Amino acid sequence: MGHTSRTLRPDAIVLPDGTLQRGAEVVIEGDIIRSIQPWSSTDRNERGAILSPAFVNAHSHLEYYDLKGKLEGLAYWDWIRELTRIKDTRHRDDVQRAAIRAALQNRATGVGAIGETSDWPVSGEAIRQAELQGRIFQEIITVREWDSPSKRIQTRSEWAKQQAEVSTLPVHLSPHATHTVSPSVLRQLASSGEPQSIHVAESRFENEAFQNGSGPIADLLASVDKDFRPTGTTALGYLGELGCLHPRTQIVHACSFSEEDVLLAGATGVTIAHCPRSNINLGCEIAPIAKLRKQGVKVGIGTDSAASSGEIDMFAEMRAARELSIERGQPLSFEDLWCMATREGAESLWLPRKWKIEIGANPRLMLVHGVETLEDAITSSPRVQLLQ
């Protein structure tokens, strides 16, 4: 039997560079775009809407949705310590329900695929119920088992298998951060060749620890690693020395990046997940997103967790990303932001689908209703409708 065919005739379509093409129809067979051409009819079910690839949430923690509003007003390190204290006091069933609500909220804001970092084995079910695509990174933290992490790795491996079976998505063991995973485990995970997603340079404390052995992260490392010595490098440089930077590495945050870090990111082919509202709320430095993109680095936009970002809203993330870029003096255009929230987000997660509207591509699509431009959409959080 042949594939079903359908024709969409919106007011405009979003092209791969973020510009709009008006008066065009898109003919789809199965899930493949077969042609893009001028309207062949005035009969249009998509009147009053822009057709776009669905959003890709490049970095998420669904399982912290129940902590929304409970950790407000804390500086970065205090927030980290309180999150660490409170997260394991919750009941797994409550965390599961919260993750499902978060996944459905992602869908409501136009997210069709997600890069989910999961510390508990609950996100797979949430993603399945919301019918999202993407990847799950089963997070590994070895601070409490610095010298003997094998049992924790085994447990997380079992959880990863469970999540893959439930969600039918690829699930990868992945390190949490530069300072919460021992060097031996960082090397082990990097050598697997599997995609990795790791929190790096979210705060200046990471660079202070590795460059000169000062600050709270240095104190943490000294408490768990008797052999810890500063390396004289930035946090990203430290990962580079361990062999952890390659084209299947996603760096989350990248706030405290030096000029050398920007060049290193470009040279090693890593991707970036930018989480602007979380960074603002935690008082992080402004990530050099425009500079990274000029180096050819693919940058996606992520919501991080509701515990740091608040309600899930990709439009709000794009607004925050624009505000930060203007404050840094390197403004991102509305077209830049849309590309980061769609095509580049997919590229930052190495999604197998071609996430753009062009002939031969197969993105998940959405209709953005009641707006005429991308600027209108980003500034107003309009109604969206996922199509497949």
Tokens of 381: 């959080």
φ, ψ dihedrals at 174, nearest 5°: -145, 140
Cα 220 to Cα 206, 270, 340: the distances in Å are 11, 27, 34
Above 60 in pLDDT, residue 153? yes
**Candidate CATH numbers 3.40.50.720, 2.30.40.10, 1.20.1260.10, 3.90.1300.10; the one for domain 5-52+357-386:** 2.30.40.10
Amino acid in the structure at residue 241: E
Contacts of 73 (CB under 8 A, 6+ apart): none
For the chain, where are the E strands, in sequence order?
A: 5-8, 12-14, 20-22, 24-29, 32-38, 49-53, 55-60, 111-118, 133-140, 171-175, 196-200, 249-253, 271-274, 299-301, 365-369, 384-386
- % pLDDT > 90, the chain: 98
Annotate 262-299 with b (16+ C-beta within 10 A) or e (fewer). Answer: bebbbebebbbbbbbbbbbbbebbbbbbbbbbeeebbb
| Mean pLDDT across 28-55 | 96
- Segments of 178-314 assigned E as strands: 196-200, 249-253, 271-274, 299-301
Q: Is residue 221 pLDDT above 80, yes or no?
A: yes
Q: Is 284 in contact with 276 (CB distance < 8 Å)?
A: no
What tokens does 364 get? 């998940």
For 86, the token pair is 């409170």
What is the pLDDT, as a whole number, of residue 285? 98
Of the listed ranges 110-119, 232-241, 245-254, 379-388, the one predicted with least confidence: 379-388
Q: What is the pLDDT of residues 313-355, one digit of tens each?
A: 999 999 999 999 999 999 999 999 999 999 999 999 999 999 9
Residues 6 or more apart whose CB falls under 8 angstroms from that of 216 comprise 77, 205
> How many CB atoms sit inside 10 A of residue 53's CB?
28
Query: What is the pLDDT averaged over residues 136-152?
Result: 95
Query: What is residue 2's predicted lDDT score, i.e. its pLDDT?
Result: 56
CATH assignment of 54-348? Answer: 3.20.20.140
> Could you tell me the pLDDT band of residue 267, with boundaries at 50, 70 and 90?
very high
Single-letter code of the amino acid located at 278: S
Asked if 349 contacts 113 with a C-beta cutoff of 8 angstroms, the reply is: yes
Instruction: Measure the CA–CA gap between 116 and 59, rounded to whole angstroms.
Output: 6
pLDDT band at 1 (very low <50, low <70, confident <90, very high): very low
Residues carrying CATH 2.30.40.10, the chain? 5-52+357-386
pTM above 0.85, yes or no: yes
Q: Which of 217, 209, 136 is nearest to 180 (CA)?
A: 217
- What integer is the mean pLDDT of 361-374? 97
First to last CA, the chain: 20
The pLDDT of residue 69 is 95
